[in-house]
Amino acid sequence: MTEKTLLPSLPVRGVTPVTGADLSRRGFLRLGGSGLVASWFLNSPAAAWAATSAAVTPKGTARNVIFIFLPGAPSQVDTWDLKEGAWTPSDFAPTSFGSGLRFPAGLMPNLANRVSDLAFVRSLKAGALVHQLSQSWIQIARNPVRATGANVPSIGSVAALEFEKQRGPNDVLPAFLALNMQTGLNDEGYFPAFCAPLAIQPTPTGLPALKHPDGSTLVNRWKDLQELDAALRNGQPLGKDAADAAAFYNQAKLLVDTPEVNALFTYSDADAARYGSTTFGNGCLVAKQALAGGRGTRFVMISLTGWDGHASIYSKSAREELGQGSLYSSLAQLDVALATLMGDLKAAPGKTAGKTLFDETLILVAGEFGRTAGALNSQGGRDHFEIYSAVFAGGGIKGGQAIGATDATGATITDSGVTGRTELRAEDLACTLYSALGIDWTTKRHDDPLGRGFEYVQDAGAGVYAPIDRLFG
């Protein structure tokens, strides 16, 4: 094992006069009415702990990640690993795109035009078939019911921690942004609160909470605050948690003093229409603007629900609240918004000369598990199934390929696509994201609250899980 660069550590736990225990872990507040989670402001001035790794070489092909999460579990055999049979509606219009790729062009006409940019991983196997459990699993890259599960940071929070040492004075936004994630979002776990996701629901007006209601009087109040207790705010005379609270105020004030960042979260009706005028489309639009704005956001998670298709999966009038997850309605949203997002990323300049934002941004599209293969069930739907697929694009990914294979109906994995493996797991997806971002996926930190050591990906240091390198060509 080799020593890795020192990373920021978690603050020492304690009690604050504001919120009590665990201020550093769960954050400070939610700004009323806007859904803006401000806990990420709580940077810790604590000394760093060393971390060890297995001395691997990350790809480093991407600066950013957009993780499009499809909770509810879409049917892989009707989408990314299309299996055709008597059950297949004719308007799916299955189309060949070379190299054995068959794609439902009728369901996703816009993405069909971008198959050459998409890479399909078809040999994934879920560790559980319970929605909440598997939704956490894919976000934290391990079984969440293990002893350390409650304290495990999400993938986005790990990225935020790693990005911290790269941040500059213009990076006033959090590294980790979560859009449309009303429920089921994993947070920073035991990591410092600046690693927490900034969770918002996009609106045309952006983030109105960034405008302080007291206007210019805030300047005088801020000055008075500094004059009254500067001695208690500097040097940590009241301990770690008080210092964290002071850091919160300082960084929150910085954001309020940078009102131009709100432009990254606002959009017109015309902008929204290009993305489909849907909640998901608005999330994709804001994700693109946040990354293009270059004010600190580097990892974006966007949620699109409506995939729990136990019944009426092919019905164009299915109702999600009745357990009917129509592929037509859900894929119509995904198709327009994702294709538009990819096009806009390609049109935007990247940080590096000669590269586009698409070149620098890895996109992952995945749910938590799959759907039963073959004919539909008695309710015209598909039930929970362990085999599923994921899609990658951008960020150095070689498009137009499928990795792994299943049998004629999609019931069993016949080829994992990776030598020595019979199947791939959510942990391998996490390794792939980390590798693309230049992060050592075998890192093991030694500052976890249980003293067991925290691996970015459980068992990756032992070689159990690894990046899917074939994705990069």
Residues 187/310, Cβ–Cβ less than 8 Å: no
pLDDT on residue 326: 87
Distance from C-alpha of 428 to C-alpha of 67, rounded to nearest angstrom:
15
- Residue 159 predicted with pLDDT over 70: yes
For the chain, what percent of residues have pLDDT higher than 70?
A: 84
N residues, the chain: 473
Residues 395/432, Cβ–Cβ less than 8 Å: no
pLDDT on residue 241: 61
* Lookup: tokens for 43: 């940077």
What single-letter DSSP state applies at residue 221? H
* Mean pLDDT value of segment 268-293: 98
Using a 10 angstrom Cβ sphere, with 0-12 exposed, 13-18 middle and 19 or more buried, the burial of residue 138 is buried
Nearest to 433 by CA among 297, 300, 292: 300
Q: Number of folded domains in the chain?
A: 1
In this predicted model, what pLDDT tens digit does every residue of 75-129 receive, in sequence order? 999 999 999 999 999 999 999 998 779 999 999 999 999 999 999 999 999 999 9
CATH number at residue 457: 3.40.720
pLDDT on residue 218: 80
Nearest to 51 by CA among 443, 460, 456: 443
Distance from C-alpha of 136 to C-alpha of 26, rounded to nearest angstrom:
17
* Lookup: tokens for 133: 């459990």
Q: Kindly compute the dihedral angle of the four CA atoms of residues 112, 436, 25, 134, in this order, to the nearest 10 degrees.
A: 50
- Residue 298 predicted with pLDDT over 80: yes
Q: Which residues have C-beta within 8 Å of that of residue 191, sequence separation ≥ 6?
A: 10, 25, 153, 157, 158, 160, 161
3-class secondary-structure state, position 97: coil
Question: Which of 79-83, 151-155, 256-260 is the most confident on average?
Answer: 79-83
Residues 382/309, Cβ–Cβ less than 8 Å: yes
Using a 10 angstrom Cβ sphere, with 0-12 exposed, 13-18 middle and 19 or more buried, the burial of residue 201 is middle
Give me the domain span that covers residue 464. Answer: 2-472
Distance from C-alpha of 221 to C-alpha of 252, rounded to nearest angstrom:
14
What single-letter DSSP state applies at residue 42? -
DSSP bridge partners of 30: 37
User: From residue 388, how far is each of 210, 448, 468 by CA, in Å?
Assistant: 41, 32, 16
Nearest to 369 by CA among 130, 119, 83: 130
Q: What is the pTM of this model?
A: 0.87
Using a 10 angstrom Cβ sphere, with 0-12 exposed, 13-18 middle and 19 or more buried, the burial of residue 14 is middle
